[in-house]
Amino acid sequence: MSKKRENIKQEIFDIIEIGNKSDIPSTLFDMFIVVMIWVNLAVTLAFTFSQFDPYKGLLEGIETFTVIVFTIEYILRLWTADRKYRGIPQWKASFKFIISFYGIIDLLTFLPFYLPFVFPSGIVAFRILRVFRIFRLFKINSQYDAFNVITSVLEEKRNQLLSSMCLIMILMTASSLAIYGFENEAQPDVFKNAFSGIWWSVSTLLTVGYGDIYPITTAGRILGIITAFLGVGLVAIPTGIISAGFVEQYTMIKGDRKSAIDGEFDCKDCPWRKAYMDEHKNDGDKA
């Protein structure tokens, strides 16, 4: 009986854990969860429109169904956590999943729904937490190329990005102090302190230009022109670093795929190989 239970647990784990394209049950489960996420978000948006008030009962029913789905999924992930974190007891694996980033996100997707039943006085504050549902989309996306490449690029280029951010911070601080010195006497109510200068500096450096605070003196306007030009160049630095990182990552991924297919290393279970073989299994017949 115990062996049968363990087999069932493994099967459930294989389904709820995001697999490759050849894993049909897991892929269908992922698609179902994504649909539930979008339905849940659509209902949340619909609640903000008075035109949907006549359908409030229906919307609440749909929301309840999606939340139940999320709750069941969370319970299953807790139960199968020892398959994800192997080599540790069940309770430790479950706790590790609970405090993990995606475990917290999973919990926040349905917890706000139940909290008003326990603490009715905090219903408005708990509804605000529903915004965390959108992060479930990152949970699905994190297992595929797009999000993995982004995180890999940011991690690999973190030193270069940090250096460019330091340059931006230096220029922002210098320009904020300079604009305060030029504009404080002319606009004491606008440029009251250095923080007012920082707000202007950020909006100018990032070429946003809200227009709520701007220089009126000649020296201040000249500083604004210089800051705007420097801002365009400095903001382009991290953009170029990230772009170069994307090119490097996709080149490396393409090389890894080719190596896996050519058998340069042992990767029989590699997702790249399975996906490639599934996509090209009929190429020989067509030829």
Residue pair 232/226 in contact by the 8 Å Cβ criterion: no
Give the dihedral of Cα atoms 107, 108, 114, 117; nearest 10 deg: 130
Question: Could you report the average pLDDT of every consecutive run of 10 residues in the chain (287 residues)?
Answer: 78 76 79 86 85 90 91 91 87 90 81 76 62 62 62 82 87 88 87 82 76 84 87 82 82 65 50 50 49
Query: What pLDDT score does 265 carry?
Result: 46
Cβ partners under 8 Å of residue 142, min gap 6: 102, 148, 151
- Decide: residue 224, CB within 10 A, 0-12 exposed, 13-18 middle, 19+ buried: buried
- Decide: residue 255, CB within 10 A, 0-12 exposed, 13-18 middle, 19+ buried: exposed
* Class in CATH terms, 156-279: mainly alpha
Residue pair 200/213 in contact by the 8 Å Cβ criterion: yes
Full-prediction pTM beyond 0.85?
Answer: no
Query: What pLDDT score does 139 carry?
Result: 58
Each residue of 151-183: b (16+ CB within 10 Å) or e?
ebbeeebeebbeebeeebeebbeebbebbbebb
> Domains of the chain: which residue ranges?
2-143, 156-279
Cβ partners under 8 Å of residue 107, min gap 6: 74, 98
Query: What pLDDT score does 286 carry?
Result: 46
- C-alpha 215/C-alpha 221 separation (Å) is 6
CA distances from 94 to 15, 85, 117 (A): 18, 9, 25
* Class in CATH terms, 2-143: mainly alpha
